Chain A
Amino acid sequence: MIRVLCLAAALVLALAAPAAAHTVTAGADLRIAQTIAGAEVTVVVKGTTRVPGPLRIGVIAYQPVSGPPIGLEVRSVEDGRTVTGTARAAANPQYTQLRVERTGPHELKLSAGNETAVIPFRVLVERDSAGEFLIYGGLFVAAVLLVGGLLTGATARPGRAMALAAGAAAGVTVAAMVIVFDSQVPAPPPDGAAPAPTTSTAEGRPYVQARMETVPAQPEAGEEFTLRVDLADGSTGRPVDDLTAHHEALAHVVVTSEDGRYFRHVHPLRTAPGHLEVRLSAGRPGRYLAHAELERENSGGQLVAADFTVGGTARASAEAGTGTESGRTGAPAKQAGTTVTPRLHPAVPVAGRPTTIELDTPGGVRAWLGMTGHLLIRSQDGGFFGHVHEMGAPGSRVRFTFGFPEPGRYLAWVQYATADRIVTVPFTVNVTAPEAR
């Protein structure tokens, strides 16, 4: 009998080893792109395995950044406890270590220049599962009692030996049952997680109503202005404060001049619930279009659009070319600084059919916004806006496939990050109607 139990315990122990390897590493990195103090950066918050424990925050820069470091302030929304530090933006940043005392909702406040962003996030720490406790508890009991049973049996006390063997069998039974059924029992949510429904409910949330405006209402050419995006829930009217980090940003805002010579792809700062802001300047007067991509929690992506007018007269520093580096929001536009031109297949795209666009990237690429390349497309009139991601082309190139929905002229920009800057390559695409061929 004891031999059988010993064998069973040995088998269960052998089976238990892989189960332990399935524990999930606590926490996950939060990456949020921000356009702050004229620089394009990605803030990385590294998860912690315990509380109280360290929370490491780094700021990745995509171009050389000068100026003072970015101020960091982490506040627990529950108890209001606040810790502060600074982080210097760099291509490979040093991580600043702040201490968090508890799990649950927190806010990260970023300060640079006279700009401030408040990013809500949750500190999560994996809980020990009850199943794991029972597996190890059961095996521990079994092991202790088996040794006791062997010793008692050796001294010829069958009654006590049987009692101990029964206890050991119970321990092994619990451990074995939990091992078998553990995969069917849902894992407990991490400590600090937001409440979630226990049963699946319909996915999706109401649409966002967005109001975009500039401050001042009519900016002057060459002068800095703020583009504000105010978001309200289409069903409740409340501020929308549940934006997810969608491609590493709360919102991707693309501002283009009507003629396409001005282009900025920026990531506004959350200043308050439902309020996003980004500083810009435009060198030439005229009509400008703003497209904002965002995604609510448990929902699909949404696109909101607006236009505004820049007054005054063109400044000498106004952009002369057709493209600009997106990183320097306040900088005048310049030629993209690249001689490569995109290749289109087919050379004359047909509406409704896939077109592949390839671009050589001799300077190499590094991931930016979670992707190695981005293609932004706008119809001439601004009525259509598209954002395509790189498909993982081999070699030094980026490749995109897109089906232009209608015939006509489209303005397009390929963007990718190199070691020290974000490259923007503008071009136009004339799309023909299927029957025209």
Chain B
Amino acid sequence: MIKRWYALAAAALVTAAVALYVVGRSTAAEPVNLTTTGSRYTATVFIADPAPGRVTVEIKVSRGDADTVALSAVMAAMGHSTPEISAAMREPGRFVAVGELFPMSGVWELSIRLDGPAGEEQLAVKTLITE
């Protein structure tokens, strides 16, 4: 009988641990994958490991022929802005930028300046960067 109670308690604890995991999972950092569409271009930003410091940002331009893509970031809450980083074209429509875009954790607005035959356009996405 006592054994069964142990089994019962163990089952309850395991279930509770699963419950806490499910609840806590929603607060874990995830890769950034955001799409934004302007009047000329559609860009998807992918950051596999978003964190303060040096990051690698991939930009896929799925609408509009962009020749050049440059990134900069603004933290509105603190009034910080970062220098512009040029993204290198890996293949048509796919650009990669590497640099220190987010000097500190917080909510950052990532500006994407695209240029091409259709003209220049600045798009933006907001993302939360955590340590």
Residue-wise, chain A 154-191 has the 8 Å CB interface mask toward B (1 for contact) of: 00000000100111011101100110000001001000
Residues of B within 8 A of A77 (CB): 36-37
Q: Contact check: which of B4, B12, B36, B76 meets A205 at CB < 8 Å? A: B76
Q: Is B4 touching A162 in the complex (CB atoms < 8 A)? A: yes
Q: Does A297 contact B (CB under 8 A)?
A: yes
Q: Contact check: which of A130, A171, A178 meets B26 at CB < 8 Å? A: A130
Q: Is A177 touching B19 in the complex (CB atoms < 8 A)? A: yes
Count of inter-chain pairs, beta carbons less than 8 A? 99
Residues of A within 8 A of B126 (CB): 194-195
Q: Is A201 touching B19 in the complex (CB atoms < 8 A)? A: no
Q: How far is the CA of A417 from the CA of B130 in the complex (A)?
A: 47
Given A130-B23, A177-B16: A166 touches B106 (CB 8 Å cut-off): no
Q: Which of B14, B38, B79 has the most CB of A within 10 A?
A: B79
A109 → chain B closest CB, angstroms: 11
Q: Is A167 touching B35 in the complex (CB atoms < 8 A)? A: no
**Closest A residue to B11 using CB positions:** A170
Q: Contact check: which of A170, A204, A236 meets B12 at CB < 8 Å? A: A170
**CB proximity to B under 8 Å, residues A190-208:** 194-198, 201-202, 204-206
Q: Is A242 touching B128 in the complex (CB atoms < 8 A)? A: no
Q: Does A78 contact B (CB under 8 A)?
A: yes
Q: How far is the CA of A422 from the CA of B79 in the complex (A)?
A: 39
**Closest B residue to A162 using CB positions:** B4
Q: Is B27 touching A198 in the complex (CB atoms < 8 A)? A: yes
Given A205-B76, A205-B77: A134 touches B22 (CB 8 Å cut-off): yes
Q: How far is the CA of A195 from the CA of B126 in the complex (A)?
A: 7
Given A130-B26, A162-B4, A238-B74: A80 touches B80 (CB 8 Å cut-off): no
What is the size, in residues, of chain A's interface with B at 8 Å between Cβ atoms?
A: 44
Q: Contact check: which of B8, B25, B74, B76 meets A297 at CB < 8 Å? A: B76
**Closest A residue to B81 using CB positions:** A236
Residues of B within 8 A of A196 (CB): 107, 128
**Closest A residue to B130 using CB positions:** A198
Residue-wise, chain B 73-89 has the 8 Å CB interface mask toward A (1 for contact) of: 01011111100000000
**CB proximity to A under 8 Å, residues B1-42:** 4, 7-8, 11-12, 14-16, 19, 22-23, 25-27, 34-38, 42
Task: Offer 8 A-B interface pairs, CB within 8 angstroms, sorted by A.
Answer: A78-B35, A130-B25, A162-B4, A169-B8, A173-B12, A201-B77, A202-B77, A205-B79
Residues of B within 8 A of A238 (CB): 74, 81
**Closest A residue to B42 using CB positions:** A80
Residues of B within 8 A of A206 (CB): 79
10 closest residue pairs by CB, A with B: A235-B79, A80-B37, A195-B128, A206-B79, A236-B81, A173-B12, A166-B8, A170-B11, A170-B15, A130-B23
A99 → chain B closest CB, angstroms: 18
A19 → chain B closest CB, angstroms: 15
Q: How far is the CA of A130 from the CA of B23 in the complex (A)?
A: 6
Q: Which of B4, B76, B107, B130 has the most CB of A within 10 A?
A: B76
Q: How far is the CA of A197 from the CA of B127 in the complex (A)?
A: 10
Q: Is B130 touching A166 in the complex (CB atoms < 8 A)? A: no
Residues of A within 8 A of B54 (CB): none
B14 → chain A closest CB, angstroms: 8
Q: Is A197 touching B106 in the complex (CB atoms < 8 A)? A: yes
Given A80-B42, A195-B126, A201-B77: A130 touches B22 (CB 8 Å cut-off): yes
Q: A170-B11, A178-B23 are in contact. List 8 more A-B contacts (CB 8 A).
A: A79-B35, A138-B19, A166-B7, A194-B107, A195-B128, A197-B128, A233-B76, A238-B81
Q: Is A195 touching B79 in the complex (CB atoms < 8 A)? A: no
Q: How far is the CA of A195 from the CA of B109 in the complex (A)?
A: 10
Q: Which of B23, B27, B105, B107 has the most CB of A within 10 A?
A: B23
Q: Contact check: which of A138, A162, A204, A236 meets B74 at CB < 8 Å? A: A236
Q: How far is the CA of A178 from the CA of B22 in the complex (A)?
A: 11
Residues of A within 8 A of B130 (CB): 198
A386 → chain B closest CB, angstroms: 28
Residues of A within 8 A of B42 (CB): 79-80
Q: Does A131 contact B (CB under 8 A)?
A: yes
Q: Is A134 touching B19 in the complex (CB atoms < 8 A)? A: yes
Residues of B within 8 A of A201 (CB): 77, 106
A225 → chain B closest CB, angstroms: 28
**Closest B residue to A234 using CB positions:** B79
A44 → chain B closest CB, angstroms: 25
**Closest A residue to B82 using CB positions:** A236
Q: Does A76 contact B (CB under 8 A)?
A: yes
Q: How far is the CA of A80 from the CA of B4 in the complex (A)?
A: 59
Q: How far is the CA of A169 from the CA of B14 in the complex (A)?
A: 12
Residues of A within 8 A of B81 (CB): 235-238
